[in-house]
Amino acid sequence: MFNFLFKNKVRKYTFSGGIHPKENKHYTEECPIEKLPLPKIVYIPLSQHTGKIAKPILKVGDKVKVGQLIGEADGRISANIHSSISGVVKDLKELPHPLIFSRVLTYVIENDGEDIWEENIKKEFVEKDFSSEEIIEKVHKAGIVGLGGAAFPTAVKLSPPKEKVIDALIINGCECEPYLTNDYRLMIEKPKEIILGALLLKKALEKNSKNIRLIFGIEDNKEKAIEIFNSYKKEYNFEVYTLKTKYPQGAEKQLIKAILKREVPSGGLPFDVGVVVQNVGTAYACYEACYFDKPLFERVITVSGNGIKEKKNLLVRIGTPVKDIVNYCGGYVGEIKKIIFGGPIMGVAIYSEDMPIVKGTTGILFFNERDVLLEKEKDCIRCGRCVEACPMGLLPCELHKFIKKREFDKARDYSLLDCIECGSCAFACPAKIKLVQSFKFGKQEIWKKEKK
Amino acid sequence: MNEKLIVSISPHIRSDISVEKIMWSVVWALIPATIGAGYFFGIRAIVLIIISVVTALISEYICNLIFKREISIFDGSAVITGILLAFNLPPQVPFFIPIIGSFFAIVVVKQLFGGLGYNFLNPALAARAFLVASFPQTMSASYTAPYYGTISGFDTVTQATPLSAIKNTKIMGTPEDLEILLDKATSWESLKNLFFGNVGGCLGETSAILLLIGAIYLLIKKYIDYRIPLSYLLTCFVLSLIILPIKRFPNYHIFQILSGGLILGAFFMATDYVTSPITKKGRIIFGIGCGILTMLIRHFGGYPEGVSFSILLMNVATPLIENYTKPRVFGKK
């Protein structure tokens, strides 16, 4: 009724809780995506996804082409792995992994400098209609996983259980982590491709459900992206929701709540409320997989932080070691203290410059002594900032007290298992308590008990 | 492998807020009222505050050594306790009173329970209650008039603070006496004195404006939650409308808000993180509870003022309140 009052004002959606860290996106948001020169050697781990490790199908000494299958998905929840360069398999052994804290079977491939691609990868775009089954098949073959960081196999996500009716597909363009701009750059450089990819994802879901709404959710700090997507929405029939810039807006549950006002039940999945969420990067990868038969062997990452000379957005081949990226970006500034895979709030600190980029790597942050905090942990003063920050409605300080006293049952009663480890509480804590660390430990103890 | 790289669990960035920053900000916020105490009650007031703060720091330091804890005298919390305790003392108490009080606050109420974050009572208030119980005569008879005003804030005859004057007349005087007194107490002149602090009372509680300056700073910085003071003051105001004769509206009801230690208590002591609920709803209930108890003690109790006891009682109720005001977990009914 009062809509006319808000005609010129865009409605902004959000969730309750959350934090407002310094965005620091200005370092790279104006940097166009550059292609990183091909690395001499790539390290391609066979586990770059949630689920079972892929089965190796090549031997040491075999020749490979770009995009050639080298690891086969093993079981339902797994993903194919492809070579990202052409050359020779030098080694297949267990090597350190950036995200998994044990050694993982990894291909070491030496570049022959030819960059020969698999023949079946198409060079030109031809408009075509695909069936749902075709799309899921192609996505599976291409080894696509969620590129927002979680790396869940996309083909699995596109095949919800038959009884679940899906009525909305949300394309996640929030990019709520500070520093990262890889999704933003992709959105303004390849909007049409992302939309075509999103339409494919929608089509794939139409196997079981009809009338699926296609929604793009974008934070209001990406005005340009919102503008571009708004200009396409009539032509391709989708909706654009402007979301308030707040961390963790990009978390699945918070995104669904903000846009559709639905709450994924505790312990449930987005399927349970009829929603599938995919990242914009994933949509782009699907576009490439379907129209070009191109497997996922490269991705866009953001390189930023005070510790690196030139901050960039780069298109890199999977398996490229960090040191190649450092060299290309002009080297370090000051004494490097921390290298983070992913964003600064949920990312993982790595311990070696030999670590390779994997499918789920959204960015690499280089922190020197200016960024690294080594504040001492103090006792909780019960200020309640963590309670206010928690997007899941938990009481982080109370949970921490239970875990400290090893009262895991109590922590469970206080819904520890609902924690999404977004780190908002730890960010907000003035006593600098390592809350996420404590909760990870607490969850493990609870799971251990359950197994018994 | 690079030996110099730090590997730690996320998050890798944190807000720039810290315990020290919050605590010292509260100290800064108390400075206007401290200066006010010096202005109204003279150098003696400042000496009392300094004695109280120094005792608090020494006690804290000794406890740190005995209990082998980290030295915590620089985090500002002991300074706050020292200032707040002194703020709750009448201007003419002997110098040993803040020494005993501060020692009790830090050693018994705070450090014996585990230090900052573990005490379940507000140290300054618990120490004040201890002093009132141990030295009733000294604590109730040491009020004096401010330099440029009167002890009652409305006439030179009444030799008691405003709330005491009303309580005494209620008990000992005739209804006519009370009417006359109330007329004077609720005059705009009297309210003006209460607002600026030109009236008898404890060191730090008299000037509403000076306390509010500090409180507004803390509210803007979000170092204290508006929920507790707001619900506390609103409850007091609404209850005063119910309990008190509506005849002198709004003066008498404003008088209730400005007199005694209500402003000091609502903004600086009920908001103590450690002893108030961590949940949003819980904070509102906490404030309402403080308000109800304060008004009950003022009007039906034996003491003229009830702020410190009501906050202490609600401190004890905090775990219970928290238990019943847990926020709804996302995705759960």
Residue B11 gets which letter from DSSP?
P
pLDDT digits (tens, 9 = 90+) for A57-111: 999 999 999 999 999 999 889 999 999 999 999 999 999 999 888 899 999 999 9
Over the stretch A286-302, which tens digit does the pLDDT of each residue have?
A: 999 999 999 999 999 99
- Mutation pick from B4, B6, B13 vs chain A, by most beta carbons of A within 10 Å, is B13
Domain boundaries, chain B: 19-141, 162-324
Report the percentage of chain B scoring pLDDT > 70: 99
Report whether the peptide linkage leading into residue B245 is cis, meaning its omega lies within 30 degrees of zero.
no
For residue B307, pLDDT beyond 70: yes
Instruction: Note the pLDDT of residue B1.
Output: 54
Is A428–B17 a contact, with Cβ atoms under 8 angstroms apart? Answer: yes
For the stretch A184-216, pLDDT in tens is 999 999 999 999 999 999 999 998 888 899 999
Calpha distance B123→B127 (Å, rounded): 6
For residue A401, the chain B residues in CB contact (below 8 A) are: none
Say how many CB pairs under 8 Å bridge A and B.
162
Query: To which residue do tokens 């908002």 refer?
Result: A424
At residue A138 the predicted structure's pLDDT band, cuts being 50, 70 and 90, is very high
Inter-chain CB proximity A375 and B15 less than 8 Å: no
- Does residue A11 carry a pLDDT above 90? no
Q: What is the DSSP letter of B254?
A: H
Q: What is the pLDDT of residues B48-73, one digit of tens each?
A: 999 999 999 999 999 999 999 999 99
Summarize pLDDT for B79-134 with one digit per residue, the tens.
999 999 999 999 999 999 999 999 999 999 999 999 999 999 999 999 999 999 99
Judged by CB atoms closer than 8 Å, whether chains meet at A347 and B328 is answered as: no
- Residue B203 CA to residue B191 CA, distance in Å, equals 18
A388/B6 Cβ within 8 A: no
Tokens describing residue A299: 């991705």
Structure tokens that stand for A279 in this block: 């990242």
Asked whether the predicted pLDDT for residue B241 surpasses 80, the reply is: yes
Q: How confident is the model at residue B157 (pLDDT cuts 50, 70, 90)?
A: confident
Would the CB atoms of B330 and A257 count as touching at under 8 Å? yes
pLDDT at A5: 54
**Strand ranges for A244-335 from DSSP E:** 275-279, 298-304, 312-317
Confidence of residue A4 (pLDDT cuts 50, 70, 90): low
Taking Cα atoms as reference points, which of A332, A363, A333 lies closest to residue A350? Answer: A363
Per-chain mean pLDDT for chain A:
93
Per-residue pLDDT at A9: 66
Q: Whole-angstrom Cα distance, residue A275 to residue A272?
A: 7
Instruction: Taking the CA atoms of A36, A42, A47 and A53 in sequence, report the sign of the dihedral they define.
Output: positive
pLDDT reported for residue A7: 53
d(CA B159, CA A374): 58
Q: CA of B117: which chain A residue's CA is closest?
A: A381
- The C-alpha of A202 sits at a distance from chain B's nearest C-alpha, in angstroms, of 26
pLDDT bin (cut points 50, 70, 90) of residue A149 is: confident
Tell me the pLDDT of chain B averaged across its residues.
94
Domains and CATH numbers, chain A: 7-29+122-292 (3.40.50.11540), 385-451 (no CATH)
- Nearest by CB: B117 against A178, A382, A432: A382
Q: Residue B34 — very low, low, confident or very high, per pLDDT cuts 50/70/90?
A: very high
The CA-to-CA distance between both ends of chain A, in Å, stands at 58
- Minimal C-alpha gap between B308 and chain A (Å): 21
Q: Identify all chain B residues contacting A430, using CB atoms and an 8 Å cutoff.
A: 15, 17-19, 21-22
What integer is the mean pLDDT of A337-355? 93
Kindly report the nearest CA distance between residue B249 and chain A, in angstroms.
37
- Whole-angstrom CA distances from A266 to A51, A399, A419, B57 are 22, 17, 10, 48
Q: How far is B20 from chain A (nearest CA, A)?
A: 9
In this predicted structure, what is the pLDDT of residue B333?
A: 78
Q: What is the mean pLDDT of residues B133-146?
A: 92
Judged by CB atoms closer than 8 Å, whether chains meet at B332 and A418 is answered as yes
Using the predicted structure, report yes or no on whether residue A371 has a pLDDT greater than 90.
no
**Report for A118-127, A179-188, B179-188: range of highest mean pLDDT:** A179-188
- Distance in angstroms (rounded) separating the CA atoms of residues A19 and B69: 32
Contact B11 A349 (CB under 8 A): no
Cα nearest neighbour of B22 on chain A: A430
Q: How far apart are CA B321 and CA B319, in angstroms?
A: 5
Contact assignment for A393 to B273 by CB distance below 8 Å: no
Q: Do A382 and B12 touch (CB under 8 A)?
A: no
Q: What is the pLDDT of residues A156-187, one digit of tens each?
A: 999 998 888 999 999 999 999 999 999 999 99
CB B274 within 8 A of CB B322: no
Q: Terminus-to-terminus CA distance in chain B, angstroms?
A: 48
Percent of chain B beyond pLDDT 90? 80
Helix (H, G, I), strand (E, B) or coil at A324: helix
Above 80 in pLDDT, residue A8? Answer: no
Contact state of A266 with B331 under an 8 Å Cβ cutoff: yes
Region B217-238: what's the mean pLDDT?
96
